[in-house]
Structure 1
């Protein structure tokens, strides 16, 4: 069987990693990319129902992996109505179109562990998928709402898989996110483009970090495996090992070989910050045969190397 996999958000950080994986390791796959924004290949607006219908009807995918979103919590906080429109209504448009034009297609929804929100405050240790969704910020609320919507649509026949990935990083990620933000600053210091001072937010928070190359393996697998239908396909993608943000910064500073001053920046402190967040991915291991493979030290080295190459090229 040839898989026809339609990816939304294909031009983004995760979408690029996913497309590369499918093209490299899945010879029986044909990838169709839907991007967004001027100049992007196959640009499409998730709020344009006719355009979505046309694309899904023409491609007739065997699976749709939905990555496109207002993905940065700061962007969602600054434009909440836009975030709700894109993350919820846009997801509904895609799911309805799949039900109409490709009813046998697998619909892979990529949500977020942030949807658990306040549940992290009540838990000691990694959370499972049965923990209530109690989002604490706009981004998390939009992802939780779309997650519940897709779960409900699974009862109406949508062949859905829902993922709740925890923090992931890798080479090519925007410096909107903490690991890339640190790596860029350290790389600029090493290249002499910045004074040896790094500005940080809350370094005491602990998060469950993964390599993007591990995360996209789960998405690819779910899109190509023969899975029984039903609403029960909801999976954490996590390492189960929370890491203190301070330790990640120390790893990057150690790679620089330079004495770097660390300064707290109130602008970088997030409201509603959760002290510790980690996930239990037992279900993904058992049902999808997935587990993280890339050592975190390798991930950090690759992110740092990416920013070093960019700094040296400028």
Structure 2
């Protein structure tokens, strides 16, 4: 790749965006432009702030997917060769309370971004991140889920990601732009937001170990089946997507190789704690969704055939690294919501 290659990452301060920056700094010489809102927390890129301050390959651009003018300005500034559209209102449970914000950010925001790219960087190779949640409630006989499985979204978030997916494919087909969409299945690891099941479990266990809360882990639905991937494998896959045989309008399922229930995942985390024998589990009704996508097992052969990508980080390492991340956060002190 040219040393002058430039990439634009929306959602640079998120779990995935921050890990993608780490990967690109180590494996490319690209200039990295990251979109964030002025009020976005910087925790996930805290370790990068010296390089950001020095303008050492990382440049922050303030904007908002809900503002067309800021999208136009951001794309003009970034002048990207590669785009990773990761930003979203990404929490399914919140989308039930805030559906309009979710649709505006995820559906119309994607339209605003792609319209700006069509205008200012039509040559860019673009990754639009949809979600496995588009498939929603899938009957067992259709497992594993391939790319042609019918969409049956089970939340406003999932509905918004159907729109994200279709807009990305539309731009690829209608405007001859190299836009590819991915339906990434469950992916996690250090820096995962505490509103997501495995991260809130790890956080609660770390707080129990530190004596901050009683030895009870509060949960939502434990029966859902998930295939787990590590976020560090995911971002390597995203890099391979845009650099190995990019195909206009293509769409791919990506996911890990280890499948288990949310309960089994929780049991794994608890088993890693020295206080495992003291910890009990309690269902919290406030953590239950009105409807759940309960079978999320991907068929990833199409993506692997095109790129050669394979997940390499074992499930147990992902869970241990997530738990250690929360242990470190809590050792640093401060106060934490028990969510």
Tell me the TM-score range normalised by the shorter chain.
over 0.9
Structure 1 segment 1-314 matched on structure 2, within 5 A = 1-2=2-3, 3-27=5-29, 29-38=30-39, 41-118=60-137, 120-121=138-139, 123-156=141-174, 157-227=176-246, 229-231=247-249, 233-258=250-275, 259=277, 260-314=279-333
> What is the CA distance between 1:240 and its match in structure 2?
4.5
Structure 2: give runs of 5+ residues left out of the alignment: 43-59, 334-339
Q: Which runs of 4+ in 1 moved over 3 A?
A: none
Name the Cα RMSD after superposition: 1.5
Structure 1: give runs of 5+ residues left out of the alignment: none
**Which range is displaced more, 186-195 or 50-59?**
50-59
Q: Is the 8 A contact 1:109 1:150 kept in 2?
A: yes
Task: State the partner residue of 2:49.
Answer: none
1: CA distance between counterparts of 2:62 and 2:77? 15
Q: Is the 8 A contact 1:121 1:274 kept in 2?
A: no
TM-score, normalising length from structure 2? 0.88
Q: Is the 8 A contact 1:240 1:281 kept in 2?
A: no
Q: Is the 8 A contact 2:233 2:311 kept in 1?
A: yes
Change (3 A) 1:242 1:124: farther
> What is the CA distance between 1:121 and its match in structure 2?
2.2
Aligned length: 310
Change (3 A) 1:142 1:107: same
